[in-house]
Structure formats: structure tokens, C-alpha cells
């Protein structure tokens, strides 16, 4: 009997862990013709986002830049508010930085997607004051599932890998947020023409 599954009953399909590697019949990701050019900053997808939003005082303020193909780079500076152990970044915060970087890959495909599964490896402690250099790319697409991987390096963009993650994101429509989000934030977002334009632009694929 395992601690993770104390009754040893088979999990229903919806609760089974999904693989993080694309299946054999996955296809290569397609960069949208109107995706930001390599080297262009992506900006925040939502001002109040904890990962990237500029209007979120408690957020990570992560800034991502378009890379070649369907890849992005990003930088995240570890602040005192991000500590777990004295002087070291909290693992959950580092996972959030990886999640946000992986999430921004949708911009390059003009697809809205949410995290379905995310697995992080913590390889080195990350001290406060460190700039974490993140790189993420899509490894394959299978229906609505987008498989991706990311690393976070310390000591420079070519430095040692401190954290890495593999993920499956699931494509959703903008209604996912309208149907599930709290009314006051949804109403505020829908009253912001820039936010509506950003969201709808993602849904127009070639």
C-alpha cells in the first residue's frame, strides 16, 4: 500500500498523472505569423498576474522575451519576500517563476493555455539577490495538450542549472476565465479594452 494512494484503489482516469513527454504522434509547435519577433519583450498578459503583472505589488514581476521558434527567455530577481529558508528562495516561488515562463509560450502560438501538470526539479539552492535566467520551449503539441520544458540558471544566462521543470498545458478558450473567475475581476478585465484585445487576439489563429 503506498502513502500516495492509501487504499490502493485504481485512480479514475481524470486523476491519473499524465505523461510529461509528448506522445509519438504529437506534432511540432507552430509559431504564429504575428508572434513577437525574437528579442521582443512579451509584456504582461494581465496586469494583476502574480507572475508577470506590473500592477501586482506582491508579484514576481517576471519579464519574458520572445526567442527563436516557440521559445522564450525570462529573468526573475529573487527578493527578500521570496525566502523559504534564511537567505534562500522558496521552492514554490521558483516553481511559480517556471510556471509563468512556460505559460508565456502561448503568446508565440497565439493560444490561451493553462497549466495542467507541472513537475519541478530543484538542483541548486537559489540565494536572495540572484537573477534567475529562465529559458522555456514547447516540445510537442497533441490536440489541446501543449508539452513544454524550462530551465532556470544562476550566475548568468549560460550558468549552472538550479531548477528545471516539465509541463503539460491545456488549451482553453477565453470563456474558461469568464466562466470560472470571480465576477469583480472579470468585469474589470472586460472593461479594459487592452485586456479584451489581448485575449481575443489569441483566439484568431491562421
Ligand X SMILES: CCCCCCCCCCCC(=O)SCCNC(=O)CCNC(=O)[C@H](O)C(C)(C)COP(=O)(O)OP(=O)(O)OC[C@H]1O[C@@H](n2cnc3c(N)ncnc32)[C@H](O)[C@@H]1OP(=O)(O)O
Binding site for ligand X (CB under 6 A): 18, 45-46, 51, 99-100, 103, 112, 114-117, 143-145, 168, 170, 172, 174, 177, 199
Min dist. Cβ of residue 40 to ligand X (A): 18
Min dist. Cβ of residue 13 to ligand X (A): 8
Between 87 and 201, CB nearer to ligand X: 201
Between 41 and 116, CB nearer to ligand X: 116
Min dist. Cβ of residue 139 to ligand X (A): 14
Between 102 and 162, CB nearer to ligand X: 102
Find the length of the chain.
206
CA distance linking residue 165 with residue 144, whole number of Å: 20
- To the nearest 10°, report the CA torsion of 107, 113, 118, 122: 20
Q: Tell me 159's DSSP state.
A: S
Min dist. Cβ of residue 64 to ligand X (A): 11
* β pairing state of 160-171 and 113-122: antiparallel
Between 93 and 168, CB nearer to ligand X: 168
Between 19 and 155, CB nearer to ligand X: 19
Contact 199, 155 (CB under 8 A): no
Min dist. Cβ of residue 117 to ligand X (A): 4
> Closest CB to ligand X belongs to which residue?
116
Report the greatest alpha carbon distance in the chain.
54
Contact 26, 67 (CB under 8 A): no
CA distance linking residue 197 with residue 187, whole number of Å: 15
Amino acid at each position: 500500500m503506498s502513502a500516495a494512494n492509501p487504499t490502493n484503489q485504481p485512480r479514475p482516469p481524470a486523476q491519473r498523472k499524465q505523461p510529461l513527454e509528448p506522445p509519438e504522434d504529437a506534432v511540432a509547435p507552430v509559431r504564429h505569423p504575428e508572434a513577437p519577433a525574437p528579442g521582443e519583450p512579451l509584456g504582461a498578459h494581465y496586469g494583476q498576474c502574480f507572475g508577470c503583472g506590473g500592477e501586482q505589488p506582491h508579484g514576481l514581476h517576471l519579464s519574458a522575451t520572445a526567442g527563436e521558434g516557440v521559445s522564450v527567455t525570462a529573468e526573475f530577481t529573487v527578493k527578500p519576500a521570496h525566502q523559504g529558508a534564511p537567505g534562500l528562495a522558496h521552492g514554490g516561488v521558483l516553481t511559480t517563476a517556471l510556471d509563468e515562463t512556460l505559460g508565456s509560450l502561448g503568446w508565440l502560438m497565439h493560444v490561451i493555455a493553462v497549466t495542467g501538470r507541472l513537475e519541478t526539479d530543484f538542483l541548486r539552492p537559489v540565494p536572495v539577490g540572484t537573477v534567475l535566467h529562465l529559458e522555456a520551449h514547447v516540445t510537442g503539441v497533441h490536440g489541446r495538450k501543449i508539452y513544454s520544458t524550462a530551465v532556470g540558471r544562476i550566475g548568468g544566462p549560460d550558468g549552472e542549472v538550479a531548477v528545471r521543470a516539465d509541463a503539460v498545458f491545456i488549451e482553453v478558450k477565453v470563456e474558461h476565465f469568464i466562466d470560472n473567475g470571480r465576477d469583480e475581476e472579470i468585469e474589470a478585465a472586460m472593461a479594459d479594452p487592452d485586456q479584451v484585445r489581448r485575449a481575443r487576439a489569441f483566439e484568431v489563429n491562421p
